[in-house]
Amino acid sequence: MNLFITGTDTDAGKTYVTRLLLDALKQSGIQAAGFKPFCCGGRQDSILLHQGSAEGPGFTLDEINPIWLKTPASPFTAALIENRKLDFAGLRRSLDNLTSRVDHVLIEGAGGWEVPLAPGYTLADYAQEIGWPVLVVVNNRLGALNHTILTVKNIQARGLKCAGLVLNYAHEERDAASISNRMVLESMDLAPVVADIMHGETDGRELLDALQEWM
């Protein structure tokens, strides 16, 4: 189950969902690794994926997260500020290394789907080159419908499979938008809604089982 996990925007819950799936795979006795090709600002997300990856192969943090830019901005902007050139060929080698050592790799993107990486080159272009199915984590709030529809249509226009949507609600109380978003998205038949979750209150095994049903 190699997957590219993107979000409708930043802080949608990509790391949370990726770590849930990694933990569920590990509990099932399946060797899997998270891959965070680009990390900007703090490195906590990459650390969480590193901790959730299979222990047997003995991955280093830099193998899980090859490019760490300390500026909290898009990779393109952060690289300009830090006067760095991103090594995309090296990223391909890093991913090949992971896929050769575990059964499954979950790639977590940076920010939203079309985040700029370099002039004329976005995260969506990078994902298209890899060609894996894309799981979209939706920041389940007012405005999520527009972001989700645009993201899914772009994924499909690039010839990629949208493996499904995970609606992630990070607040304690629900509102009209977060309650109704699933119904609206299912009625549009854009992509399967794999789960509608409350951040911090979700069983990773249930999420994994639901995802595998659709894939």
Active-site annotation, residues = 36
The C-alpha atoms of residue 177 and residue 165 are separated, in whole angstroms, by: 16
As a three-state string, the secondary structure of 129-164 is HHCCCEEEEEECCCCHHHHHHHHHHHHHHCCCCEEE
Residue whose C-alpha is closest to residue 141's, from 4, 35, 13, 33? 13
The C-alpha atoms of residue 65 and residue 100 are separated, in whole angstroms, by: 17
Half-sphere exposure of 170 (CA within 13 A, CB side): 13
Strands (DSSP E) found in the chain: 3-7, 32-35, 38-40, 67-69, 104-112, 116-118, 121-122, 134-139, 162-169, 193-198
